[in-house]
């Protein structure tokens, strides 16, 4: 099998975990997004990316492998009902351009523009690069495969920029960018990750205060030097300090989707060494991963390590390694990799032990022995189910083996009650070209149907989200005409499929929704979400959401905290109060399945179920492949113990419509 380790369709730079236009919600204005994204590539991450391009090859074949285009995260090759052309089954490729995604090119243009601005470059050229990056966000063409003549036909792309795109696509380098990176201290690039810092402020910190690292910046903020600079002040200084501390706490971690992708890549790469299985955090589907762990079955651990070290993209940390444990990094991924070697007689035992947290393994069963004690005494080929049974404990699925309430959950439920991909009947938070999506309403709906779903809810952005092409009341009416026409086509063809009229309505600062009641009444359902003003206190943020929940037109509370994993903390909320309000007002809570969000956090799922609140696993898809992100939502939902019975979009359409009409 040819594997593919294609990075995420947007903002894949390994040193920065940013959100994307096509994948995560457009939660900020385009201008502020540009500022936030401008540090998305560093000198080191560019080099890691080049190495990663060279790493995308079929094991042992010497040939490079590419997935069938950009995809939002790792897509299992066994994806049910996925059309062949959208699966990651791989085609043989032999050039860098065939491996490069549109995101790589857009990131390159954005960074070049920001660094030119940082170094007082030509304003006209800065605008040319920035405008091209913005215009190319929604193109569906494979930019790396287009000649200059075709690139110049695209909006916002002049001949000079087209030439730069070709240079980058053909070589993996851009000489001008390399020169700019060489002139910029790596720590200054890191400053672009600080919320609220744009090019001008970063230039001030660098050139006036002489700050060249995040450590320098933190010390300057702690001693009050930042607040003393004109244009900053005490509040800005505190925000900078909090942002640095958050980024430091996230260092060395990757999201679930990137960890999945790396684990799959490693399984295939190491397959010639013997039996290989994923373990640890990745097996448990942790939403943030600091170690990607694999087990190799072999009686020759030194030989295994020698074979790993012979691979050019593996770098061993010898101080952290041992004769039975290879630890280090893989090019293109900023996370520790651990490869543990066990003989056949210990492999299954260790696979089980390493699949759970220490707290989980210390659980005592009816025998009086802990799960760990039972596992160490188990026979060589004992299954997980047999180990739990021998301990006198109910079986717990791997996803829940870091859930402290797993055994309490198991006292009331069976594992087969947990929601699965096959249980899903529809999807309710999706975008199209009517707002900021990459594919048309018809394309999105048809792909949902091909995935086996029976309804597709369109929830494009509302009018306040002008930065994302939000719909005015007039455009809402026009979209509804198209929906009616498409539904008539499906009915005439005898298809059991329907598009539902939804909207992602912005929750304004005071908690109101951004349409009048007559417009809100025209939708089948309303997803109410916060996208702006995310710096409220816990009390104000909770009051804001309570007002939105109490709005009679609110059907679903979308991505409740607004968090972006590893990039932005969600705003603080009193979750019991929010969940209780949803119960009282018959409002569904979204599990936003984008691997950038996975919001609401899985820890609150059990409480929501206890209060009778249903949850909807929504992909927040901005392109067809984004629908497949529901897999990540499934993983997070199962971690929290979500059952099929309490999953709103696992219900048949008739029940969904009944609920919306209540």
State the DSSP string of 252-274: T-EEHHHHHHHHHHHHHHHGGGS
Predicted local confidence at residue 139, as pLDDT: 84
Predicted local confidence at residue 49, as pLDDT: 52
pLDDT, tens only, 544-599: 999 999 999 999 999 999 999 988 888 899 999 999 999 999 999 999 999 999 99
Predicted local confidence at residue 50, as pLDDT: 52
529 or 40: which carries more pLDDT confidence? 529
- pLDDT, average across residues 312-340: 93
What share of the chain has pLDDT > 90, as a percent? 71
Predicted local confidence at residue 514, as pLDDT: 94
pLDDT, tens only, 233-250: 898 998 899 888 888 877
pLDDT, tens only, 339-377: 999 999 999 999 999 999 999 999 999 999 999 999 999
CA nearest neighbour of 633 among 290, 289, 287: 287
- pLDDT, average across residues 297-301: 96
pLDDT, tens only, 169-183: 888 889 999 999 999
pLDDT, tens only, 405-423: 999 999 999 999 999 999 9
- Residue 403 predicted with pLDDT over 50: yes
How many other CB atoms are found less than 10 A from the CB of residue 414? 10
Kindly indicate the confidence band of residue 307, based on its pLDDT and cuts at 50, 70 and 90: very high
Contact (Cβ atoms closer than 8 angstroms) between residue 292 and residue 256:
no
Across all residues in the chain, what is the average pLDDT?
A: 85
pLDDT, tens only, 646-658: 999 999 999 999 9
What share of the chain has pLDDT > 70, as a percent? 85
Instruction: Name all domains of the chain by residue range, CATH numbers in brackets.
Output: 10-57+95-184 (1.10.150.110), 186-251 (1.10.150.20), 255-379 (3.30.460.10), 421-660 (3.20.20.140)
Beta-carbon contacts of 620 under 8 Å, excluding residues fewer than 6 positions away, are 23, 24, 25, 429, 430, 431, 558, 559, 592, 593, 594, 597, 626, 629
- pLDDT, average across residues 87-100: 42
C-alpha 355/C-alpha 398 separation (Å) is: 7
Predicted local confidence at residue 394, as pLDDT: 98
- Residue 460 predicted with pLDDT over 80: yes
Contact (Cβ atoms closer than 8 angstroms) between residue 268 and residue 3:
yes
pLDDT, tens only, 129-143: 999 999 898 787 889
């Amino acid at each position: 099998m040819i594997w593919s380790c294609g990075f995420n369709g947007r903002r894949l730079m390994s040193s920065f975990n940013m959100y994307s236009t096509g994948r995560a919600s457009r939660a900020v204005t385009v201008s502020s997004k540009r500022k936030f994204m401008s540090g998305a590539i560093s000198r080191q991450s560019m080099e890691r990316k080049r190495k990663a391009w060279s790493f995308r090859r079929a094991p042992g074949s010497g040939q490079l492998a590419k997935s069938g285009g950009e995809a939002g995260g790792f897509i299992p090759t066994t994806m049910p009902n996925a059309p062949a052309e959208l699966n990651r089954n791989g085609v043989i490729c032999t050039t860098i351009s065939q491996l490069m995604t549109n995101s790589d090119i857009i990131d390159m243009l954005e960074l070049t523009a920001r660094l030119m601005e940082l170094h007082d470059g030509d304003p006209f050229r800065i605008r040319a690069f920035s405008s091209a990056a913005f215009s190319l966000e929604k193109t569906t063409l494979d930019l790396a495969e287009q000649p200059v003549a075709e690139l110049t036909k695209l909006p916002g792309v002049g001949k000079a920029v087209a030439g730069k795109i070709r240079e980058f696509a053909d070589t993996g380098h851009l000489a001008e960018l390399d020169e700019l990176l060489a002139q910029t201290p790596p720590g200054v690039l890191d400053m672009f990750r600080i919320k609220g810092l744009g090019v001008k402020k970063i230039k001030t910190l660098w050139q006036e205060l002489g700050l060249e690292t995040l450590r320098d910046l933190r010390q300057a903020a702690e001693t009050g030097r930042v607040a003393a600079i004109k244009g900053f002040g005490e509040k800005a200084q505190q925000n900078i300090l909090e942002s640095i501390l958050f980024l430091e706490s996230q260092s060395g971690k990757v999201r679930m989707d990137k960890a999945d992708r790396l684990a799959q890549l490693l399984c295939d790469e190491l397959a010639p060494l013997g039996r290989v299985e994923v373990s640890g955090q990745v097996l448990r589907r942790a939403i943030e991963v600091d170690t990607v762990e694999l087990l190799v079955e072999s009686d020759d651990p030194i030989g295994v390590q020698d074979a790993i070290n012979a691979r050019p993209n593996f770098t061993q940390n010898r101080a952290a390694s041992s004769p039975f444990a290879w630890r280090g990094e893989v090019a293109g991924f900023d996370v520790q990799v651990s490869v543990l070697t066990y003989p056949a007689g210990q492999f299954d035992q260790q696979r089980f032990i390493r699949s759970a947290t220490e707290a989980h393994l210390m659980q005592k069963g009816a025998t009086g022995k802990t799960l760990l004690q039972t596992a160490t005494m188990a026979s060589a080929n004992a299954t997980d189910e047999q180990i739990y049974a021998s301990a006198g404990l109910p079986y717990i699925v791997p996803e829940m083996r870091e859930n402290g309430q797993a055994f309490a959950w198991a006292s009331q439920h069976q594992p087969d009650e947990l929601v699965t991909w096959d249980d899903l009947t529809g999807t309710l938070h999706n975008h199209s070209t009517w707002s900021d999506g990459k594919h048309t309403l018809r394309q999105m709906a048809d792909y949902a149907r091909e995935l086996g779903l029976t309804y597709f809810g369109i929830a494009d952005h509302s009018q306040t989200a002008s930065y994302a092409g939000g719909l005015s009341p007039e455009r809402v009416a026009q979209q509804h005409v198209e929906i009616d026409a498409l539904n008539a086509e499906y009915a005439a063809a005898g298809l059991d499929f329907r598009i539902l009229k939804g909207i992602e309505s912005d929750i304004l600062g005071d908690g109101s929704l951004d349409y009048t009641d007559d417009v809100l009444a025209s939708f089948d359902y309303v997803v109410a979400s916060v996208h702006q003003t995310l710096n409220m206190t816990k009390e104000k943020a909770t009051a804001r959401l309570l007002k939105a929940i109490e709005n009679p037109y609110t059907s679903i509370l979308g991505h409740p905290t607004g968090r972006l994993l590893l990039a932005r903390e969600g705003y603080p909320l009193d979750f019991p109060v929010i969940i209780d309000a949803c119960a009282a007002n018959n409002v569904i809570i979204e599990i936003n399945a984008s691997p950038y969000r996975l919001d609401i956090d899985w820890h609150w799922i059990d409480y929501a179920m206890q209060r009778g609140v249903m949850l909807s696993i929504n992909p927040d898809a901005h392109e067809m492949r984004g629908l497949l992100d529901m897999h990540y939502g499934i993983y997070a939902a199962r971690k929290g113990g979500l059952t099929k019975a309490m999953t709103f979009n696992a219900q048949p359409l008739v029940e969904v419509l009944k609920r919306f009409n209540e």
